[in-house]
Structure 1
């Protein structure tokens, strides 16, 4: 099973590059998930915070590189991050966003122009879509892709290393695999530390505080067949969970599945 050559926007326009996806988001023709678009290009999770908290969050990411692999950081108040994309505007170039106040979700706009502030710093964090593409190219099947649902994600008992106001448990994503597929997945994803890298746990979900694999905290449940084991990767939902738990007065992020498509290529992130 391999990734598609490209996918079409709802208006029938091919979205083959990261810039194509950003422009479609900017003009409103793309409002949902970015999965399947711009194959080969890195997509990023977003965390957007007031400058006074930026150093704490930067240290949190540095201390927890598995769930929070940074690929870009903006200057305060600057909606661009030239190192990951030209003609990029954080305020408009993602299909959907979330707005948090005191840790509570208060809005899900399709652009951030009405919410933008001059003190905001944007953190772009690596996304599992990059290593999933590598797995599919190696014929390692992914059930959530086959079923057309979101990957199941779970809060765990694995504590992140705290920094300032940011602390909390790691969130993981789960993909069922045979033992042979799991070994191959470890080999492949180990080459992508900038997008979560190798799994953090294999099998025995109760050992990391997960009681019921049929009831994910985020995403959709998927079936685990006879002869398969659950394989867990650190997940980019972790920073959003930690930001919400800190109950800071104001924060922005991407909506689930609606990522920032960059100009970086997945192969550029591979090591070895």
Structure 2
């Protein structure tokens, strides 16, 4: 699968409007944009994709509702349908994310750009709130996000904290980390706490050991900005990758999720809380 960098969003094809979620989805669907989605459609909500067979869908929704910090539900589709009209008018969720992970019996078997060949009539898609949305809100309030300046994404880590299990779904909490100055960490906590739909307030500030994280260099998936400079604190938020972890542990016969940093771009506008 061909993927791009966050910087690619800034240098995207000038033939489409990178601020318009519909234009972004069309460009992804047509293969004209293959980069990470964290710097496009920044005034609109983005989400994690998790699609599971219909006979496991209610249990997954129960799992999400039992763990709302990590898995705030933005939308649920119908079996076999590739649209969720409540969050986007023209969404084809099997083609518009631009990067997918296909799991069989808990094992990753494919990372296609287009998930259409793998879609089944019994798959139910869920869209979960994403930290890309609150990053845009943090920047509106002047919080410096060094990983964006460096053309990177936030690192993720598996913690030692158990989630609340439901049906076959369970496992450890996954968190995302941003390196912030103490002043920005306070500001970011106050801002994100107002937005539970995008993971809410941090679960830990400055203490990776509190989450059982022994080495920041060993991130979940091996990617993201892991360096914390002098004068910065590692700040950790619950992460939607928790759901991906739970789906893998459940060893479902088939599950499809987004590929790292390639999110579902919705038509839902971000809150206008500039104060």
Unaligned runs of 5+ in 2: 1-6
User: What TM-score do you get using the length of structure 2 for normalisation?
Assistant: 0.92
2:181 aligns with 178
- Check the 8 A contact 1:7/1:14 in 2, yes or no: no
2:143 is equivalent to residue 128 of structure 1: no
1:225 to 225, 229, 235: 229
1:18 aligns with 21
Q: Cα distance, 1:227 vs. partner?
A: 2.5
Structure 2: how far apart are the matches of 1:177 and 1:55?
A: 38
Structure 2: how far apart are the matches of 1:73 and 1:142?
A: 31
Structure 1: how far apart are the matches of 2:39 and 2:63?
A: 30
2:263 aligns with 259
Task: Identify if the C-alpha distance between structure 1 residues 141 and 183 changes in structure 2 by more than 3 Å, giving closer, same or farther.
Answer: same
User: What TM-score do you get using the length of structure 1 for normalisation?
Assistant: 0.93
1:119 aligns with 122
| Cα root mean square deviation, aligned | 1.8
Q: Cα distance, 1:13 vs. partner?
A: 2.7
Structure 2: how far apart are the matches of 1:118 and 1:78?
A: 7
Following superposition of structure 1 onto structure 2, how do residues 153-192 of structure 1 map, counting pairs within 5 Å?
Answer: 153-192=156-195
Structure 1: how far apart are the matches of 2:17 and 2:225?
A: 30
1:247 aligns with 251
Q: Cα distance, 1:7 vs. partner?
A: 4.2
Q: Cα distance, 1:115 vs. partner?
A: 0.9
- Check the 8 A contact 1:7/1:38 in 2, yes or no: no
Unaligned runs of 5+ in 1: none
2:37 is equivalent to residue 41 of structure 1: no
1:51-98 deviations in Å (ceiling 9; x for gaps) = 000011000000000110110000111111000000111121111111
Structure 2: how far apart are the matches of 1:11 and 1:25?
A: 14
1:148-204 deviations in Å (ceiling 9; x for gaps) = 112111000111000000010100011122222111111110111101011011122
1:32 aligns with 35
The count of residues paired between Structure 1 and Structure 2 equals: 266
1:56 to 54, 59, 69: 59
- Check the 8 A contact 2:17/2:24 in 1, yes or no: no
What is the DSSP-based 3-state SS (H/G/I as helix, E as strand, rest coil) of the residue aligned with 2:213? Answer: coil
Structure 2: how far apart are the matches of 1:214 and 1:87?
A: 40
Query: Which is further off, 50-59 or 7-16?
Result: 7-16
